[in-house]
Every structure is written in C-alpha cells, then in structure tokens.
Amino acid sequence: MRKTILHMDLDTFFVSCERLLDNRLNNRPVLIGGTSDRGVVAACSYEARVYGIHSAMPMKMARLLCPGAVVIRGDSGTYSKFSDMVTEIVKERAPVFEKSSIDEFYVDITGMDRFVQTSYLWSRELREKILKETNLPISFGLSTSKTVSKVGTGEAKPNNHIEIPEGNEMPFLAPLSIKKIPMVGDKTYHKLRSMGVEKIRTVQEMPMELMERVLGKNGTVIWKKAQGIDNTPVVAWNERKSISSERTFEKDTTDVTKLRSLLVAMAENLCYQLRNGNKLTACVTVKIRYSDFQTYTKQKRIPYTSLDHTLIAVVLDLFEKMYERRVLIRLIGVCFSYLVGGTYQIRLFEDSEKLIKLYQAMDLVRNRYGQSAVKRAIGMGSTTIGGMNPFNGKTPIIPAH
C-alpha cells in the first residue's frame, strides 16, 4: 500500500501570531527580529517579501529596502503558546504525527480512506478546525511521501491546500525550480545551475549515476526526491522526548564552584548536541541527588531554543533555587525535554547577527576539532563531558594533544 502523507505548515507563523494580537498589522509589511541595526530578520510578512526581504537578512538592510515596514522585536514565549495550541488539535485527531518544527507537521494517514470519505476531505477538515480554533492561517500538501507533500505545501501557500494523487508526483514536480527540493541549499543550487540544471524535470531525465558523481551520496538522494521517491517515515512525536547528562561523583561534594562548572559544561554540551541534531528544547530540568540518596528535580518551561547562553542561565537559576540543604551531593544532572525540530535561528529576533554568527563559528570549530575545542571558561575544569549524539549517532572527535 502506498503511503498517504499530509504536510501542514503555519503561514508566516510569527507574523500571523502578531496580527492576532494587533489587527492593525494586517496587510502591512511586517518585520520580526532584532530591532537594532545589528539585528537580523527572523520572519517577515508576504507584503515585506515583495521588497526582496527574507529571513536572516540584516535588519539594517531590510529597513533600507522597505522603510515603511513595521518592525517588531517578537516574543518567543507567545509563539510557543500558539504552536502548542495547534499541536493539541493535531494530536487529538491525527493517528500518527510528527512535529518537525515549531510551525510544521507531518501526519501519516495511510489507510484512512477505510474510515472516512477521503483522506483529502479529512485533511481539509483538520485544517478548517485549526483555522476556526486558532485563527492562524495554515497550508497543506497531501501526497505519497514527505518530500512531495512538503513541496506541495509550498506551492499551495498562502493559506491554501493541494493534493498530488499517486502517479502525479513526477509531473507535479517537473516544472518547478530545483531549489524547491528539500536538501538543495544555496551551494548545491549554484552547483546545479552551473551544470545548466534549473528545473526538476532536468534532474528527472538525468542518470542517477551522474548526480552521484557530481554531488556524492546527496546527489543520489536528490535524484530520488526529484522522482517523487522518499520512503522517510513519519516519526511519532512525543512531547517528552529528551536529552540529558548526569555525573555521579567518586567523592560526594559541596564545592559549589565545581558544581556550577560541571552544570555549565553539561548544558553547553547538550546545547551543541541539540544544534547538531537540529533540535530545540522547551523545558529544562536540573537534578540533584544527595549523599543520603534523596533525589530532587526542578524544571522550567521556556520558549523553544538551543542557545547556550539562554539555557545555561536557566540551568544555574534552577540549581540556585533547589540547592538549599547545603549537604554533600552525590549526583547532579541536566535534562532538556519537549524537543522539536528546528535551528537556533528560531531566536533570531532576540539575538544579533553577530551573536548568531558566533554560534555558527563555534559549532564549525567543534565539528572539525572536537566539541571540547571551544568551551566557556567556567566549564574548563570538566573535561569528560560528551558522548555520542543521540540525534545523528555520531561520536564526537577527540582532538589530539
């Protein structure tokens, strides 16, 4: 049985949330991001895109392109709440769904036609329920794979829907730009354009071996996606999915400086793993086990993020609030949960372009020389924090000394 995959994406999500809070923003060019000239654009309305503005563009440049745009700093907590509202609606009705980012969902509705009139009708009803209960515009694509459905959603926008029936995948994809295929970033796109490849149809007609010769394994994957072939499953989303790190001391301790240093090192490592796995967390938990084996935990829900400086501050704050007994500690731990897919650019509206580039540079150094190659001074004493990344199965590089 061929799969039936629904892809749903909330249109200009941050902007739509702001417009629900202030309808004076309707039909106006809106920029959300860092409000200073050093900030960057996290999201923009369709009215702003007409001027050539896009996400990750320096705010200074965006203002020059569209002087009349309304600039809003944004509130990640608000966006997280709206995202949770939509998630609850999807969870209530969908048999199997994957929340791939704060504003994006995949639903596997294979075999649904046995229980409803049509899968397409069911998908439209789900969309209408989301529209009615949240007033957030949302688009969807329905087809036989994640790739074709996601591309379909992009073509259906804004605030619309499309079905690509079985057998129509290749004709649907053929006239579209090669850049529409997920995985084709700027570098790959420019390489393909230099070969004269502009439309997906050209890749469909090329031998798979040629794509592999030019782009390696990625070339094979892109070729298959161009044919509408994608067997990637919908991974059932579990809001309690988590990543954690713990340390049991050989000798129980009350050395607060040592404890803080270790917590920072743990949080820093977990943040790096989140970003490498394209994940964001919305809940931080700190755990303490005393020498008498009494164990305490304290947690805090936060807006989605994967940035060190934000999460480290939460970890240390939870530790200070919880560590009241001042007796010997046997174990401490940090856990990030309520994970969703996404990158640290989700917080572009709170951080400057300079800070974002700093994180990108640090991760680049860690990926090349090992995750201990760049560390905060406070965590320098904790040299053995690390391990296999649970999201991609990679073992960190251990740099030579």
- Give pLDDT tens digits for 319-343: 999 988 778 999 999 999 988 776 6
Assigned domain for 267 exists = yes
Reply yes or no on whether the pLDDT at 345 is more than 50.
Answer: no
Reply yes or no on whether the pLDDT at 393 is more than 50.
Answer: no
Assigned domain for 57 exists = yes
Residue 373 confidence (pLDDT): 57
Assigned domain for 99 exists = yes
Q: Enumerate the known binding-site residues.
A: 9, 103
Instruction: Give the active site residue among 18, 47, 104, 163.
Output: 104
Range 355-362 contact pairs with CB under 8 angstroms and sequence separation of 24 or more: 356/40, 359/275, 359/307, 359/308
Give percent above pLDDT 70 in the chain.
84
Average pLDDT across the chain, whole number: 85
- State the residue for tokens 């649904």: 112
33 with 156, same domain: the answer is yes
Question: 175 or 95: whose pLDDT is higher?
Answer: 175
Evaluate whether 286 touches 313 at the Cβ level (below 8 Å). Answer: no
Residue 104 designated active-site: yes
117 with 210, same domain: the answer is no
Assigned domain for 394 exists = no
The two tokens of residue 344 are 């640290």
Looking up residue 363, the CATH number of its domain turns out to be 3.30.1490.100
Q: Enumerate the known binding-site residues for Mg(2+).
A: 9, 103
- The residue type found at 342 is G
For the sheet with 70-72, list strands across it.
41-44, 30-33, 70-72
Assigned domain for 27 exists = yes
188 with 264, same domain: the answer is no
Residue 368 confidence (pLDDT): 66
222 with 266, same domain: the answer is no
Assigned domain for 364 exists = yes
- Domain interval for residue 324: 244-379
Q: pLDDT tens-digit profile of 185-230?
A: 888 999 999 989 999 999 999 999 999 998 888 899 999 999 999 9
Q: pLDDT tens-digit profile of 230-268?
A: 999 998 876 557 899 999 888 899 999 999 999 999 998
The total domain count for the chain is 3
295 with 321, same domain: the answer is yes
